[in-house]
Structure 1
Amino acid sequence: MKAIKIILGIITVLVLAFFVTGLVVKETKYTATVSVNKPVEEVFDAFIKIDSVKNWIPEVQSVTTINKNPGITGSIYDVVVLTQGQEIKMTEKIMAYVPNEKVTLFFDAENMLKKDDYIFTDENNTTTITLSASCKSDSYIMACLFPYFKSTFQEQDQSYLNNFKKYIEEEKNQ
């Protein structure tokens, strides 16, 4: 009987810790970076071409333009990704756009709200892309989960940046 009380006590503490996470951590933030051996103009142009995103993010199935603004900021796209055999539809909005310097994207993917802020810096024809990302959710349960998946989110975004580096360096050398 004592063992059952101890086990139930441990489970209760773990459940409470999980739910407190959602109260304490409102947003999960992380960074990723990559250096590309190309000038910033070439890297930025390739990065913002919405049709080529499938070349470095393999899960992307389709991208449909909903609203394309002349200044690019405010443009909206519907993106369909296939992850673990399930199609997920999300909306991508360009929140900020400064040619060859910065692009900020906002994604609404059902219960995940994600902001990706990409900064492009050039030094001796090597471009460094720095991503500052933040995730939050309208769903309390999802908000409780996100902090525990921070390293997974970061690894995934880092792999996308690495894929982009490989894509741009190999494609332009062929």
Structure 2
Amino acid sequence: MKYTSEIEINSPIDRVIELFDNPSNMDKWMKGLQSFEQISGKPGQVGAKSRLKFKMGKREIEMIETITARNLPEDFSGTYEAKGVFNIVKNKFISLSDNRTRYISEQEFQFKGFMKIIGFLMPSAFKKQSMQYLIDFKNFVEKS
């Protein structure tokens, strides 16, 4: 499953990138994030691996993030591996004016086992969650 989500943020691109590029800000806009732990590599750089733990309702999800590209603002990409799910994410930021930035997130999900059924039956849940992260990031930036 592939899709793209985007949102406009009322903030200069440099400020948006500054806030996006700081892992300690992640819990301020990623609802359910319980912990972010660096496993290997230099944080935020290509090849770096981190463990993210989420609590979503009654479910606990652990995933491994691997940074695959870093050329901000044009490209910040990574893979996210969890049980039955492999997610490829490409983030891009475009300056629209001195105080407006477009944030574009391209997602590709690959499913295994039981998650194939979930992905097939509920693709809108994944799209909704991705969009919610963009909305929450926008709100975080605009209030910072």
When the two structures are superposed, what TM-score results if normalisation uses the length of structure 2? 0.92
1:97 is matched with 70
Unaligned runs of 5+ in 1: 1-27
- Which of these two proteins has the greater Rg computed from alpha carbons? 1
1:138 aligns with 2:112: yes
Structure with greater helix share of residues: 1
Q: CA deviation at 1:68?
A: 3.0
Task: Say which of 23, 30, 54 aligns to 1:50.
Answer: 23
Which residue of 2 is the match for residue 29 of structure 1?
Answer: 2
Query: Which consecutive residues of structure 2, in runs of 5 or more, have no partner in the other structure?
Result: none
| Whole-angstrom CA distance in 2 between matches of 1:101 and 1:41 | 12
Distance in 1, matches of 2:57 and 2:122, equals: 16
User: In structure 2, what is the Cα distance between the partners aligned to 1:68 and 1:168?
Assistant: 27
Equivalences, count: 143
The alpha-carbon deviation at position 44 of structure 1 amounts to: 1.3
- Aligned-residue CA RMSD (Å): 1.5
TM-score under structure 1 normalisation? 0.77
Query: 1:70 and 1:34 mapped to 2: Cα distance?
Result: 26
Q: Counterpart of 2:122 in 1: which secondary structure?
A: helix
* 1:117–1:131 CA contact under 8 A, matched in 2: yes
Deviation at 1:142, TM superposition (A): 2.1
Instruction: Name the aligned partner's letter for residue 102 of structure 2.
Output: T
Amino acid in the other structure paired with 2:97: N
Runs of 4+ in 1 over 3 A off after TM superposition: none
